Structure 1
Amino acid sequence: MSLIRELYLGVSVMEKLAIGQALQRQGHPKRAMQAYLDGLAQVQQSAGDEAAYWLAIADLEHEAEQFTTALSLHQRALSLARCEKQQCAARLGLAADLWVLGEQSTALALQQKALTFDGLHEDPVLLEESARLYRLQQQWRPALQQLRSAAALNDGDGIVLHLAILQTYLQLDTNEGLADAVMLAKQSLESSHLHHQESLLLALAQCCERLANYSEAVQFYQAALSVQTTQKATKKTPRRLLGVELKLQQTISGIEIELLRHSNAQQIEQVRRLESATYRDALTGLHNLRYLQARWDELLTCHSLCLIHMGVDQSTHLRDVMGDEVANDSALRIANVLRRCCPEEGVLVAANNNEFRLVLLKTSVSEVNVLIQTIQAEIALLDCSQLPEALTLSVGCTAFKEGDKADVLQLRADLALYLAMRKGAGAIVWEGEA
């Protein structure tokens, strides 16, 4: 280990990636993670190739069954990918994460895209990742084929790879090539890490049973029991490895914060669209009657309020003679006038049939009359040369009385508007006036 450490301290950034991959294949995930994180820190400082490190870290997280975290990291790797090989690796990783998380259709689409990369069958890492996805899909034969190809390219190196090959054989009904696989796996036992040793011993025992090598099978089962006893006596994670885990968590937290910000932005936009669809009038963009209904309990706590109902006098005539488009345009123009003139603290809504309602809080009758006169003057300035007659707005008003409920208040304002429209175009009537 001292020689490896000395070499590790003097290697280049990309060699640290290779060392991490070698450690990972040998069954040393914590040491592999340390190599990846050290290399990542360096490439971030030099604006180097981050994607390769994110891919490696994401795969370690997937192996640790942290699938949601792995998914986030694979997404980041794909966004930073600099070549087709990295894109292929990221898509295979994403497909594996999504398959486990139940998004099979999306996973299959990513898998098909990844398999179009010509260099996949010449790269042992990509072959292992592709085989992992086939194993998740319980497609054992193509998984075994790719695992064996990866082993050949790795010159037989890789504890995790040998374990995957044996476990895949146990899912098949053929022993063709199994004896060679067992031999290679036995050779790799000496360099295996305690983390994978028990699983490898158990797989060897089961494969020996398949081959009718019962004495060897017993030896492997006994060795697996011995490893279990050793693991129980193993000390806690060394402080230096706890530091690696903390560094990894800090790195992942940064990614998750970015994703959370993006997710929150999406949610805000969804809420905005929902609010628009629920509480906004499609034609004018003003709030609608549903919005006013939701606000009434709050508004009625202010006892000095006035309710104003307004109607476009020409609305029915324009719609019958000029058509919906002209009538809607006229309503929109008046809505724009109201939007400009009405105070921000007022509640302005678009009602049915080119009608509008306005709730004003803590406002006197005289102040309401001044506001209405301002609105009428602005409407009189509208260019109506293309219309049969100028646009006018009739107004019905009522003030809050002690004990008033929302429906009673609105009925009184409706009656005042009805009387105003009977009185003549542009008339203003307060409830109770003769």
Structure 2
Amino acid sequence: MLRIKRMHDEVSRARTRLQELAVRDDLTGLFNFRYLHTRLHEEFKRAERYREPLACAMVDVDGFKRFNDDYGHDVGDQVIRLVAERLQEALREIDVVARYGGDEFLLILPSTHFSGALTVADRTWRSVSERPFDVNGVPLRVTCSIGVALYPSRDVTSKDELLKAADAALYQAKDEGRNRICVFQHQGYIYTPS
């Protein structure tokens, strides 16, 4: 009987672990792309239903390819892991961070107006860009660009539009020189002092 209980417990732990792996990124332990879309859909529906604001911020590690090229993929992987840690540290308890892919991350900021989104984006930017990363005893300067989008707004009426707007703001930040925050708005882009 004891052996059956142990086997049941092992199967239960294995099932729990598999469920966790299905929604987590292997490298960072953050939520993955699949979970991100499910959670964003849920948060968007909640924001619509209760008429609450919702913000998304897309974060990209500036010039990430050079870490892989100059130091090797092991160092590149370590940079991604360290960025993920700093993103988690910078966020509020209600926020969600997921690895969007490669060197991009997405922050879901529930119940967040314009000023709150800028505060979180600025704290996130500072956590990555203001102090060097210690990778195997080597200090590396890492910066990031951030694109922020808000719901509701004139141009954002769906979760897909929210993602597209955050992506557009991110690429505007990169086009303007990287290492900065850009907010998508229908009148144009707003930059924060980065």
TM-score by length of 2: 0.81
Match of residue 369 from structure 1: 118
Task: Give the strand-richer structure, 1 or 2.
Answer: 2
User: In 2 relative to 1, CA 297–382 (structure 1 residues): closer, same or farther, beyond 3 Å?
Assistant: same
Alpha-carbon separation, structure 1, partners of 2:167 and 2:127: 23
How far 1:267 sits from its partner (Å)? 4.3
- What is the identity, as a one-letter code, of the residue corresponding to 1:411? K
Question: Which among 119, 128, 138 is matched to residue 386 of structure 1?
Answer: 138
Report the alpha carbon displacement of residue 299 of structure 1 after superposing the two structures with TM. Answer: 0.8
Deviates more, 1:370-379 or 1:272-281: 370-379
> In structure 2, do the counterparts of structure 1 residues 334 and 412 end up closer, same or farther at CA, with 3 Å as the change threshold?
same
CA deviations 1:251-289 (Å, max 9, x no partner) are xxxxx8xx3xx4663344123211232110111100011
Question: Bigger radius of gyration, 1 or 2?
Answer: 1
Aligned counterpart for 2:33 among listed residues 275, 282, 289: 289
Give the residue type in structure 1 aligned to 2:28: T
| DSSP-derived class of the 2:138 partner | coil
Separation in 2 of the partners of 1:320 and 1:359? 31
Give the residue type in structure 2 aligned to 1:327. G
TM-score (norm 1): 0.38
For residue 344 of structure 1, give the secondary structure of its aligned residue in structure 2.
coil
How far 1:337 moved relative to its partner?
A: 0.5
Moved more, 300-309 or 262-271: 262-271
Distance 1:397 1:279 in 2: 24
Structure-2 residue corresponding to 1:184 = none
Amino acid at match of 1:346: D
Return the match for 1:302 from 3, 24, 47: 47
1:361 deviation in Å? Answer: 0.8
CA distance in 2, matches of 1:342, 1:282: 21
Equivalent-residue separation in structure 2 for 1:365 and 1:293 (angstroms): 22
Determine if contact 1:315/1:353 at 8 Å carries over to the other structure. no
1:221-268 CA-partner distances (Å, limit 9, x unpaired): xxxxxxxxxxxxxxxxxxxxxxxxxxxxxxxxxxx8xx3xx4663344
Distance 2:102 2:41 in 1: 25
CA contact (8 A) 2:133 2:142 kept: no
1:383, CA displacement in angstroms?
A: 3.7
Alignment of 1:238-253 (within 5 A): none
Q: How many residues align?
A: 177
> Which residue of 2 is the match for residue 415 of structure 1?
168
- 1:89-100 alignment to 2 at 5 Å? none
Indicate the residue corresponding to 2:102 in structure 1: 353
Per-residue deviation, residues 100-127 of structure 1 (Å, max 9, x unmatched): xxxxxxxxxxxxxxxxxxxxxxxxxxxx
Trace 1:311-330 onto structure 2 (pairs within 5 A).
311-330=60-79
1:30-60 deviation line (CA, Å, top 9, x unaligned) = xxxxxxxxxxxxxxxxxxxxxxxxxxxxxxx
Residue 91 of structure 2 aligns to which amino acid in structure 1?
A: C
Q: Which amino acid aligns with 2:149?
A: T
Question: In structure 1, the residue corresponding to 2:101 is in which secondary structure?
Answer: coil
2:15 corresponds to which residue?
Answer: 271
Whether the aligned pair in 2 keeps the contact of 1:302 and 1:362 (CA below 8 Å) is: yes
RMSD of aligned alpha carbons? 2.3
1:404 deviation in Å? 2.2
User: Contact between 1:394 and 1:425, CA under 8 Å: does it hold in 2?
Assistant: yes
Separation (CA, whole Å) in 1 of partners of 2:124 and 2:102: 19
The gaps in structure 1 that reach 5 residues or longer are 1-71, 80-255
Shift of 1:401: 2.5
